[in-house]
Structure 1
Amino acid sequence: MDTTITVILVEDHTIFRTGLKVILADEPAISIVAETGRGGESLELARRHRPDVVIMDISLPDLDGIEAVRRILAELPETRVLMLSMHNEPEIVCAALSAGALGYLLKDCASDELLEGIRTVMRDELFISRHIAGAVVRNLMGLTVDPADQTALPTLSPRETQVLKMLAQGSNNKEIAWHLGISVKTVETHRAQVTRKLNLHSIADLTRYAIRSGLISPE
């Protein structure tokens, strides 16, 4: 079975993009299938190649990376997006995650962290640069919410609530299936029901909802 991770690079600085290619070229399990310096073109390339992962900058000359993420995932929801940016402001990170990105790294990250980020989002898990994770969590989870004022979950079944909680804690579909003793297909069905009922489609939004509902602690 082919386990190669296909990647598209979206970065407008040619020198930096070349550096990324050098790093990833040493990884036999990763294959760069396309590259561009423009956000608009990234959508065309994603349609053509249907990559596993798109590594996306935010500051692009024609279409900003966050809007590019929205457009790509609207057409190709199975694609994982890992943002790689110089911006470390929590508001920008949260906007990228809410758009559907599964990961966010700073451009001064080590190559090992980049590779870890790619592997993590491939497991459908959230990955945030360790240097900004604390600030992002505080912003994303809304720590001003009164813990006593927990949102009720009347529309979710007990099993759907379990799946939501485990997704928010970072578990992927296979891990949830193993823990609950059900099939991966059943987990996928429950996950689809949760996103439909709550109208929340990104892991970041589901996690924020779980925090505000008291299902998990914002640690």
Structure 2
Amino acid sequence: MDTIKVILVEDHAIFRTGLKTILDDEPAIEIAGETGKGLESISMAVALRPDIIIMDIGLPDLDGIESSRRILDAAPECRVIMLSMHNEPEIVCAALDAGAHGYLLKDCAAEELLEGIATVLRGETFISRHVAGAVVRTLLTQSKPASPASPKLSPRETQILAMLTQGKNNKEIAFELAISIKTVETHRQQLTRKLNLYSLADLTRYAIRTGLISP
């Protein structure tokens, strides 16, 4: 297995040390760098080109959302997971709009953090189950249904898209549809490629515009 290079961006040293302890126990993960400042995280990401950046929001110089936006402009191959104490859907949506690939709360279990890393490495979006529902409801109030747009999704792709916007992960979708996780991943990759939409926020907005989901 290839080494997964990770940068930690967290201004609280004790919490950052705890993250390092969790990730150091994973043989495939290498902590390539760490910082407590947003501006430094940008230069570090450009220099080190990590696979994953675990980003706090409340940083002392430049907040994590704007830092993520600048990082992804300069190094779009990086994948950012926000790890924050904020569970307000408006903040989660702002992070996703900035390009974040995942959003976890700081009280999440180590297993959920590792699941989030694995998920975004597959090119998918991972959002804590504790905030996913509220995020969808917020997006619903911000958008109005419109006529369906092309390209046309298959019935199965449409079904999986609807379930994704409900905050369900691949394993849950596979169980409910009685298909394999690999099949779910294939359909998910196909629908995101067709739509050229890769964040959950954008997929949800598409589902709202086309009337697939409604308030």
TM > 0.5: yes
CA distance in 2, matches of 1:205, 1:65: 20
Relative to structure 1, is the Cα distance of residues 157 and 110 closer, same or farther in structure 2, using a 3 angstrom cutoff? closer
Q: Indicate the residue corresponding to 2:204 in structure 1.
A: 207
Q: Indicate the residue corresponding to 1:157 in structure 2.
A: 151
Query: Once the 2 structures are TM-superposed, how far is the Cα of residue 74 of structure 1 from its aligned partner?
Result: 0.9
Q: Indicate the residue corresponding to 1:124 in structure 2.
A: 123
Unaligned runs of 5+ in 2: 171-181
Count of residues in Structure 1 that have an aligned counterpart in Structure 2 = 199
CA distance in 2, matches of 1:179, 1:144: 25
Query: Once the 2 structures are TM-superposed, how far is the Cα of residue 203 of structure 1 from its aligned partner?
Result: 4.0
CA distance in 1, matches of 2:136, 2:105: 16
8 Å CA contact retained: 1:100, 1:203: no
Relative to structure 1, is the Cα distance of residues 123 and 105 closer, same or farther in structure 2, using a 3 angstrom cutoff? same
Task: Letter of the 1:59 partner, please give it.
Answer: G
Measured on the aligned residues, the alpha-carbon RMSD in Å equals 3.1
Task: Letter of the 1:158 partner, please give it.
Answer: K
Instruction: Describe the SS at the equivalent of 2:204.
Output: helix
Q: Indicate the residue corresponding to 1:37 in structure 2.
A: 36
Q: Indicate the residue corresponding to 2:176 in structure 1.
A: none
1:85 matched to 2:84: yes
8 Å CA contact retained: 1:38, 1:61: yes
The 5 A counterparts of 1:45-56 are 45-56=44-55
8 Å CA contact retained: 2:10, 2:16: yes
Q: Indicate the residue corresponding to 1:73 in structure 2.
A: 72
CA distance in 1, matches of 2:115, 2:148: 36
8 Å CA contact retained: 2:8, 2:55: yes
Query: Once the 2 structures are TM-superposed, how far is the Cα of residue 25 of structure 1 from its aligned partner?
Result: 0.6
Q: Deviations along 1:90-146, whole A, 9 cap, x unmatched?
A: 10011001111111111111111111111111112221112222212211333874x
CA distance in 2, matches of 1:116, 1:159: 28
CA distance in 1, matches of 2:56, 2:146: 36
CA distance in 2, matches of 1:144, 1:159: 21
Query: Once the 2 structures are TM-superposed, how far is the Cα of residue 4 of structure 1 from its aligned partner?
Result: 2.0
Q: Indicate the residue corresponding to 1:57 in structure 2.
A: 56
8 Å CA contact retained: 1:164, 1:206: no
Between stretches 205-214 and 70-79, larger displacement belongs to: 205-214
Unaligned runs of 5+ in 1: none
Q: Indicate the residue corresponding to 1:104 in structure 2.
A: 103
* TM-score, normalised relative to structure 2: 0.78
Relative to structure 1, is the Cα distance of residues 132 and 201 closer, same or farther in structure 2, using a 3 angstrom cutoff? closer
